[in-house]
């Protein structure tokens, strides 16, 4: 049996390699590297978790601010609608009052014009009657009749005054 067979040399190489690995503490260094990498990963996970929580807080804050802004916008729109309705009502009321005032003034003006027209017609009728009476009196009244009418008028006036 041959002592230095290829299997023997493979076994010797394996044990030498394992010895060197143990001598240079390669497993320890490899463990430390893996532990270090695991710690880094854990730190990154923790940082990612914190960043996610922070992002969720920021998102919630933005949603709250958006909701507040929307509410404020709705309030502004509601206020604007109420003010517009108030202004429209006030304008309508003002226009109605102005219309009524102008109608009243026009009616008063018409009434005054009617009164003036009636007074003008009466004055014209009186002037015409006086003119006609003058004309008739000047043509038909004699001095004797005039004296008689004058005396009757004075008597009539005395009875009315007493």
CA distances from 98 to 92, 112, 145 (A): 10, 21, 64
* Cβ density class 71-101: b for 16+ within 10 Å, e for less: eeeeeeeeeeeeeeeeeeeeeeeeeeeeeee
What is the pLDDT, as a whole number, of residue 75?
95
Q: Are 27 and 21 in contact (CB under 8 A)?
A: yes
Give the pLDDT of the chain (162 residues) as one tens digit per residue: 577 899 988 999 999 999 988 888 888 888 899 999 999 999 999 999 999 999 999 999 999 999 999 999 999 999 999 999 999 999 999 999 999 999 999 999 999 999 999 988 988 888 888 888 878 777 777 778 778 878 888 888 778 776
The residue among 127, 149, 126 whose CA lies nearest residue 137 is 149
Q: Is the overall model pTM greater than 0.85, yes or no?
A: no
């Amino acid at each position: 049996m041959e002592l230095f067979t290829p299997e023997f040399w493979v076994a010797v190489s394996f044990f030498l390699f394992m010895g060197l690995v143990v001598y240079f503490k390669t497993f320890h260094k490899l463990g430390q590297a893996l532990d270090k990498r695991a710690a880094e990963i854990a730190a990154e996970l923790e940082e990612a978790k914190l960043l996610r929580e922070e992002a969720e807080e920021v998102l919630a804050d933005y949603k709250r601010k958006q909701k507040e802004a929307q509410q404020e916008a709705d309030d502004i729109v509601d206020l604007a609608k109420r003010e517009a309705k108030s202004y429209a009502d006030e304008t309508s009321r003002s226009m109605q009052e102005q219309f009524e005032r102008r109608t009243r003034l026009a009616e008063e003006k018409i009434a005054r014009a009617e009164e003036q027209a009636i007074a003008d017609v009466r004055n014209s009728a009186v002037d015409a009657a006086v003119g006609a009476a003058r004309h008739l009196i000047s043509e038909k009244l004699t001095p004797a009749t005039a004296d008689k009418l004058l005396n009757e008028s004075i008597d009539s006036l005395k009875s009315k005054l007493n």
